[in-house]
A and B are shown apart, each in its own frame.
Chain A
Amino acid sequence: MHPLNPSHAIVQFDRVCFSYTTEGVIKDVSLEIHKGDYVGIVGPNGGGKTTLLKLILRLLQPNSGIVKLFGIDIKNFKDWSKIGYVPQKTYIEMNFPITVEEFVSMGRYGKRGLFLFPTKEDAEKTRTALKQVDMLKYKDRQINDLSGGQQQRVFIARALASEPEIIFLDEPMVGVDIKTQKQFYSFLQKLNKDLKLTLVLVTHELDVVTHEATKLGYINRTLEYYGDPKGFLKGKYFYELIGKKEVLANAGAS
């Protein structure tokens, strides 16, 4: 068991298990994510990457074990505006009638309680978030007029609008071209370094994680590796994940 240090830990997992039916999807996972970390979560399909994320976001409840956010048991955690979330794939409906600005302003909704209307401050923060992702000039466009990469930036802007301390991204670059991906990852790097945002990125792209992230988690039902990305490259799980040695050569060279 990891020693728990509540002072800097944003996310704490203590022996968390979760299963959809009887078969365990996640078994006995303990981990900590600290302020300023840039954590990449990798692992095979069905290994529990997205499940792990959903447990942190309370979209799923663990069967056993404790999940804490900012030192508070997730069952009692209230301050959800500290959490930013960029969901898997841009599953916004085709033709959803919403402008970029309307979409990003939703990130502020959690800050306002029920019945309360968005304020001037919300409008300003929305624009600031759009500026941060360099999408302000598109604010009146319908979201489906945008390219995949632009849509992804808008998603990030929505997460940024709530002024979170940590952002979770679930496979953000699926179906986006390589050039856009590169820009996107350097943008994430900037968020982590300049804005001191803690990032948790679930991805298939191992080379991204090993180059960009400060910590790597390899989950295949259990959390088999959690630590320095460079160390992971030397370990046995890397081969398990990649399957082929020649891919290893490529990944190392790029």
Chain B
Amino acid sequence: MPELLNYGFMVRGFEAGIIIAIIAPLVGIFLVLKRYSLIADTLSHVSLAGVAIGLFLRVNPLITAIIVAVISSVAIERLRISKKVFGDSALSIFLSGSLAVAIILISFAHGFGVSLFSYLFGSITTVKQIDVYIIGVLGVLVVATIIAFYKELLYVTVDEEAAKVNGIPTKFINILLIVLAALTVSLAIPIVGALLIAALIVVPVVTALQFKTGFKKTILIAEVVSIFSVISGIIFSFYLNLSSGGTIVLIAIAIFVLTLILKR
């Protein structure tokens, strides 16, 4: 194991991966319980458009992914509130629309070669030092925001109407949650990839829900599952020469299935 840390890219992979592993279930628990799981999926496609824009403009794709995802997340929530379209239709529009943007930019540039593939499915070898810093700073911001607004997020998730009556600014909290989701999704792209991040946000939480316990304990269990999946996934992918994103997600799903069987 220690020899694996002699490689700079592995160290960066672990650093970025562990931060992602911590924030994914924190945001995920609220998304899953609000029936917003699909938002993670949509935002991941939106982030992909951001990546394509970054590659096209030759700037750091992580930065463009973050910007595009955050702006789109606010737009999605506003469209949902406006009730001009159904909530899931709004998601559909953004999901396919951003994929369209991505594919057009790619065809403009006659393909970006292997690098796009690594953004689709995640590849820790492409994580640069600057990416680790970005993921670190924004990751801490996500955690701090969730701690600061924990009680409001929880109340809005459990019972939005009662929260409103109790004077909680529910609209603001909903937007906050979706922006946090956008940040988490775009930050996770280098590690698990755009097509697999939704799994990391949803699966550890769903696993923890099988334990039927309190809210804080559920978060704790989801964190353990997530961190374990990411660390073991990176190690396995290194020794077996597999895709890191795929390995992480498969481990998380294996834990979920095992929990289902044991908790039956």
Chain A residues with CB under 8 Å of chain B are: 57-59, 78, 80-81, 83, 85, 87, 91-93, 95-99, 102-103, 106-107, 109-110, 112, 114-115, 117-118, 140, 142, 144-145, 158, 162
Contacts and interface: CB of A to CB of B under 8 A. Distances in A.
B166 A99 contact: no
A112 B150 CA distance: 12
Report whether over half of chain A's contact residues are helix, strand or loop; otherwise say mixed. Answer: loop
Contacts of B33: 93, 96-97
B255 interface: no
B162 A158 contact: yes
9 A-B pairs with the lowest CB-CB distances in the bound complex, closest first: A110-B166, A80-B167, A99-B214, A97-B218, A85-B165, A110-B167, A109-B151, A98-B215, A57-B165
Contact of B214 (A57, A102, A107): A102
B58 interface: no
Contacts of A80: 165-167
A102 B166 contact: no
A92 B157 CA distance: 10
Contact of B212 (A93, A95, A117, A140): A95
A80 B33 CA distance: 26
Interface of B: 33, 148-149, 151-152, 154-155, 158-159, 161-169, 208-209, 211-218
Nearest to A107: B166
B216 A102 contact: yes
Given A93-B33, A107-B166, A99 B158 contact: no
A74 B209 CA distance: 39
Contacts of B163: 106, 109
A11 B111 CA distance: 65
28 contacts: A57-B165, A58-B164, A59-B161, A59-B165, A80-B165, A91-B159, A97-B33, A97-B209, A97-B211, A97-B215, A98-B154, A99-B213, A99-B214, A102-B154, A102-B216, A103-B158, A106-B151, A106-B158, A106-B166, A107-B166, A109-B151, A109-B152, A109-B163, A109-B168, A110-B167, A115-B148, A142-B213, A144-B212
Most central of B208, B215, B218 by chain A CB within 10 Å: B215
Contact of B167 (A81, A91, A93): A81
Nearest to B216: A102
B159 A109 contact: no
